[in-house]
Amino acid sequence: MAKAEPQKAQGKNVLGQPLATCGCEPMTGYYRTGCCETGPDDLGVHTVCCIVDEPFLAASKALGNDLSTPRSYFAGLKPGDRWCVCAARWLQVQQAGAACPIVLEATHEATLKIVPFELLIQYAVIPDQLH
């Protein structure tokens, strides 16, 4: 099976630079391009590039957004997966005390309408430092 390749990202990240790819295994993004792009049909604003961990997945599930249970259309996430999360949902989990790391370079600038930059940088990681 061929490895999934991201498409060229559209838009800017929260740093004002071109939007980087968030993740391709599993293929993420509202449009399943590997990028946290958004548009008028993305009512959930899936723009925060997260590196999900167990506390985040558990808190998200407890708050009504189950990202870990497999379904026919969705394999379910496991710790370490990168996923474009709804900005308001990420903020909700953060306020519950279980925010996961985020990749600023792959987090769309539309996030800033919902989550303050000062909060985002508190959870920012450079992905290569995680290995």
Token pair 């957004």 is found at 65
Total-model pTM:
0.89
Domain coordinates in residue numbering, the chain: 46-130
Checking if the pLDDT of 29 tops 70, the result is yes
Helix residue ranges per DSSP H, the chain:
54-62, 87-95, 117-120
Q: Which tens digits make up the pLDDT trace of 74-85?
A: 889 999 999 999
**Does CATH number 3.30.56.110 belong to domain 46-130?**
yes
How much is the pLDDT for 4?
A: 47
Task: Indicate the residue type of 53.
Answer: D
The percentage of residues in the chain with a pLDDT greater than 70, rounded to a whole number, is 89
Model confidence band, residue 130 (pLDDT cutoffs 50, 70, 90): very low
**Residue that the structure tokens 């953060």 belong to:** 94
Q: Is 32 left (phi over 0), alpha (psi -120 to 50) or beta?
A: left
> Range with the lowest mean pLDDT among 6-15, 49-58, 80-89, 115-124?
6-15
